[in-house]
Amino acid sequence: MRAEQLTDPITFHGEGPVWSPAWGGLRLVDLFAGDVLTLGEGGAVSRRHIDAIAAALRPRAAGGAVIATERGFTLEDADGTRRALPSVWGDETVRMNDGGCAPDGSFYCGSMGYDQRTGAGSLYRLAADLSVTVALSGVTISNGLEWSPDGSLAYYNDTPTGQVGVFDWSPETGLTGLRPFVTIPEETGYPDGLTVDSDGGVWVALYAGGAVHRYTAAGVLDTVIEVDAHRVTACTFGGEALDRLYITTSREGVADGEDLLAGSIFTAVPGVTGRPVGTFAG
């Protein structure tokens, strides 16, 4: 299957697509621009600047959004008013990267070094009471976190490992028991953002691989969606029936005149449906 180009190249480093009826459609980040983009009807795109970095976002239960910024979190109300929470760390060489909401309404987001140095990142948990704890330390490029349909598992990428990992999860213990789920050969690409469909299939964006792969809950590759851009960053299900896969791409590191569709949004209709996005309870 081949994805269709939906937009022109509209991002430098498009990431973190999220579909929410509360937003009226799709939002994503242009990470290094610090912007949140909204895809409107007819393909119109609007852009709002948030901070030096806008890394990931999820809807809030009360309306608005929680947004991961360079070194912490910002809360956006339904009317667009924003409040930055205190920085989680002071090291200016480390930034937030990607995250997702757990079934208990907490927001997990992971970090990485700007220089991608080994072990510089951590995975943080923002609770509904706005307290922050470290869920996992010593990661390199924290990416792609999403839960299984029954909430008992969470899939996770530390991109340079070449593995999609899986945690056990419960409200009482949080994320525990990280272990390999699938290993992706280096020549195929690097696991970036991911999403999970209603059947428990895990869809993984392959950075430097020009594709999205679906793995069954047993870890078997059963679908490949080819994308006409090399640096595929993330994917999510959207549309009223959650039957359309939206795919983001990046121009980071792309020379002028090369990979001309990089930075575009792509779509595909793969024949399965996604699940409503998790919301932040805070």
Residue 251, classed as helix, strand or coil, is coil
User: Rounded to two decimals, what is the model's pTM?
Assistant: 0.97
pLDDT of residue 42: 73
pLDDT of residue 24: 86
Residue-wise pLDDT for 99-142, tens only, equals 999 999 999 999 999 999 999 999 999 999 999 999 999 999 99
C-beta neighbour count of 186 within 10 angstroms: 11
Please give the torsion angle defined by the CA atoms of residues 215, 221, 225 and 228, in that order, rounded to the nearest 10 degrees: 110
Taking CA atoms, 188 is separated from 63, 129, 209, 263, in Å, by: 39, 41, 5, 20
Instruction: List the chain residues with pLDDT less than 50.
Output: none
**Taking CA 45 as the corner, what is the angle to CA 106 and CA 109, rounded to the nearest 5 degrees?**
20
pLDDT of residue 134: 98
Residues annotated catalytic, as ranges: 192
Residue-wise pLDDT for 208-236, tens only, equals 999 999 999 999 999 999 999 999 999 99
**Taking CA 51 as the corner, what is the angle to CA 15 and CA 117, rounded to the nearest 5 degrees?**
60
pLDDT of residue 40: 83
DSSP secondary structure, 116-142, as one string: --TT-EEEEEE-TTS-EEEEEEEESBE
Residue 215 CA to residue 257 CA, distance in Å, equals: 34
Residue 188, classed as helix, strand or coil, is helix
pLDDT of residue 158: 98
Residue 58 CA to residue 28 CA, distance in Å, equals: 10
Taking CA atoms, 102 is separated from 96, 99, 149, 228, in Å, by: 18, 10, 11, 32
Residue type, 76: E
pLDDT of residue 76: 97
191 DSSP β-pair partners? 206
**Taking CA 86 as the corner, what is the angle to CA 84 and CA 89, rounded to the nearest 5 degrees?**
125
Q: What is residue 9's DSSP assignment?
A: S
pLDDT of residue 198: 98
Q: CB–CB of 234/11 below 8 Å?
A: no
Contact partners, residue 117, CB within 8 Å, separation at least 6: 140
Q: CB–CB of 55/96 below 8 Å?
A: yes
**Dihedral of alpha carbons 49, 50, 55, 59, sign:** negative
